[in-house]
Amino acid sequence: MTGQWLCNWVVSTNANDWSAAMQLGGQVRCNFEGQKLTHGGLRIGDKYTIRSDKAARRLELIAVPTSFVGSTFTVSKRERNGIVHPLLQLRSDEIRQVFEDDEKVRIAIRNGRIVITALQLQTKIRERLKRLKEKLARGEKLAVTSLFHGGGVLDRAIHSGLLRAGVGSFVQVGVELEAEYLNASLRNNPDLWQADSIAICSDIRYVSLEGNIPQSDILTGGVPCVGASKAGRAKNDLEFAEEHDSAGTLFFDYLAWVKATNPAIVVLENVPEYQSTASMAVIRSVLISLGYVLKEKVLDGSDFGALEKRKRMVMIAYTPGLGDLFSFENLKPHKVREASINEILESVPLDSPRWKPYTYLSEKAVKDKATGKNFALQRLTGNEGGCGTIGRHYFKGRSTEPFLIHPENPDLFRLFTRLEHGRVKTIPAVVTEGVSETAAHEIMGQSVVYEQFDSIGEEIGLSLFRTNIELPVSRDSLSLDVKSLIAGPDFTQNLNPASLMLPSVVAVGSTQQMLL
């Protein structure tokens, strides 16, 4: 009785009973042996010839009679520890011609039939690299998969930075749970979206990744940090980030999207504390196993012209062959930080209802100090050269986030306005136009320092050409203009009406899974 044997053929010059070996340099030699060959139906003395299909990256060894005229391979034998094993030695240039520089292949033997194919992993690596190179050569926009899209702050910044480097991009698939955030991005970021873009309003866990999933060139996103940040862990009484009931397992879905869309480049951002989570350890391990090279660093928004001292962990995963020379050391700020907060403040009347006593915060500060909690109030005059981090729920008036002190009454305070919040984060005002002030603070509070990711996008774009200078992109071939991304609120008046066509929107209910 014969069975089936599958193995991964490891490139090595040391063959043993459980591996096949391929000799590099000159003619390729492959040896594989052992009882598994007998189990697969090979018999000592059988003859085989090779039939190759380079396009399919496949070799098949076909059994032939002893009278066959042509190149053949004979199953020989080897004795070990008194046991005779079948041994098959392949020497053929066709192996290298078909599989090029692949380090591993898949060998299947069944009923005496031998089929050698490329590993799916190697095929996907080649596919994403080839796709990216061809788009750069043709001057095409790169397709972006945007997860946890929010109001599009991060993607708009990456898009702007790529344009500085001469590379166009668009959101091919965007996923966001909150309808108001997604609507704002579709309305305020027309340069990001095309008529054929897919906008998905859903919990990422409810989106099915079965079927023909659009392949992307870049995947962006920040896995929600509510379980990893210091405030989130304290508020939810979590021992570790993965314990959070809604966000704890989202890294799993994030990785599923990476595998399904096969991007050449992955951009991940999160709070610095996320670096030490089990989630991040798994993300690193899986991305490396998928053939990516990782670069990671904690960046401070104040180094990129922001008044907000917002630190974020940034990871760039790229495919070797393009982007190899990406370096955080090459990031270039394009904005000079204001000397003080006063320079970005709106004129708010002294009798405006925005000024409030916030008595409960003063009382809470006293209690926190008495119990040893390090939740100090952040009350500012405007003369300061920066402020601390502003989070998603800033509109609630929380104790650790910045308040402005009334110029004449020290017992009154106010929050930053929508425009002021955007300015301390260097976010263009247009991003939050047309939404409530509460939603605007939410969008910006859980986003990024815009100028920081503009610089990251630029470095990603430039790094593509440091190792691929023979494939230049003509700036003239790009239909978008960086200026439209940093202009004021009236910039949409100058856009071609055709560019304002909205993409299709898919909404996924809480009890239904849905394929794109």
- Residues carrying an active site annotation: 225
Concatenating the DSSP letter of every residue in 238-288 gives: -SSGGG-TTTTTHHHHHHHHHHHH--SEEEEEE-GGGGGSHHHHHHHHHHH
How many CA atoms does the CB half-sphere of 387 hold within 13 Å?
29
Closest to 316 measured CA to CA, from 334, 330, 337 = 330
- Taking a C-beta distance cutoff of 8 angstroms, is the pair 298, 276 a contact? no
Q: What is the DSSP letter of 52?
A: E
- Taking a C-beta distance cutoff of 8 angstroms, is the pair 219, 258 a contact? yes
Burial label for 319, CB within 10 Å (0-12, 13-18, 19+), is buried
- Taking a C-beta distance cutoff of 8 angstroms, is the pair 242, 248 a contact? yes
Q: What is the DSSP letter of 337?
A: P
How many CA atoms does the CB half-sphere of 173 hold within 13 Å?
22
3-state SS of 204-224 is HHHEECCCCCCCCCEEEECCC
Query: Could you give the 3-state DSSP secondary structure of residue 451?
Result: helix
Distances (CA, A) of 67 to 50, 91, 137, 152: 16, 20, 51, 69
Q: How far apart are CA 217 and CA 195, in angstroms?
A: 18
Q: How far apart are CA 325 and CA 459, in angstroms?
A: 10
Q: How many helices (H) and strands (E) does the chain have?
A: 13, 23
Pairing of the two strands 29-33 and 193-201: unpaired
